[in-house]
């Protein structure tokens, strides 16, 4: 059976942020490879892995234009959009947009699978008490669920 890779690319490439409509493009392979290599390589600038909201946001703002279709002055419009203080775009939306663009254009997930803090995962060995019936699956009580807030992601694709 013939696999048609070209047909697997996203056809609807429009997105809206801050009231502005943009189209994304798939970056040239060298641009994308350099980006992903940098994201997957431990930092050598001595940041020690400390998370910074400012650095996270600035990285997203710097890299998003690589994904923008340059028609309709998209780069200039995006620059004005992130600089606007009245009706500002929230920081988290800018970072979410960047992560979404990375995921859509690379095929790589942007968040590693979450780890279970309460032991709700499987160790790979089936339990005799497990049931395939959803009606017999006990629901977690409030005391069994974690109240620890999630750790902010650095916007790096997960390693496989």
Helix (H) or strand (E) holding 93: helix 91-106
Query: In sequence order, what are the beta bridge partners of 20?
Result: 17
pTM for the complete prediction? 0.60
Average the pLDDT over 130-157 and give the result: 43
Checking if the pLDDT of 5 tops 60, the result is yes
Instruction: Give the dihedral sign, CA 28/61/97/74.
Output: negative
| pLDDT band for position 6 (cuts 50, 70, 90) | confident
Domain boundaries, the chain: 26-109
List CB contacts of 3: < 8 A, sequence separation 6 or more: none
The confidence score (pLDDT) of residue 40 equals: 60
């Amino acid at each position: 059976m013939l696999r048609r890779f070209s047909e697997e690319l996203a056809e609807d490439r429009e997105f809206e942020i801050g009231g502005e409509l943009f189209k994304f493009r798939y970056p040239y392979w060298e641009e994308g490879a350099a980006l992903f290599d940098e994201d997957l390589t431990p930092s050598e600038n001595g940041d020690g892995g400390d998370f910074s909201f400012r650095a996270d946001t600035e990285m997203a703002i710097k890299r998003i234009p690589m994904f923008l279709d340059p028609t309709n002055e998209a780069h200039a419009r995006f620059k004005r959009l992130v600089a606007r203080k009245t009706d500002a775009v929230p920081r988290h939306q800018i970072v979410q947009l960047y992560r979404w663009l990375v995921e859509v254009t690379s095929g790589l997930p942007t968040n590693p699978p979450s780890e279970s803090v309460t032991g709700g995962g499987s160790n790979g060995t089936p339990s005799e008490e497990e049931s395939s019936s959803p009606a017999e699956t006990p629901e977690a009580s409030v005391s069994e669920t974690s109240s620890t807030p999630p750790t902010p992601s650095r916007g790096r694709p997960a390693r496989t």
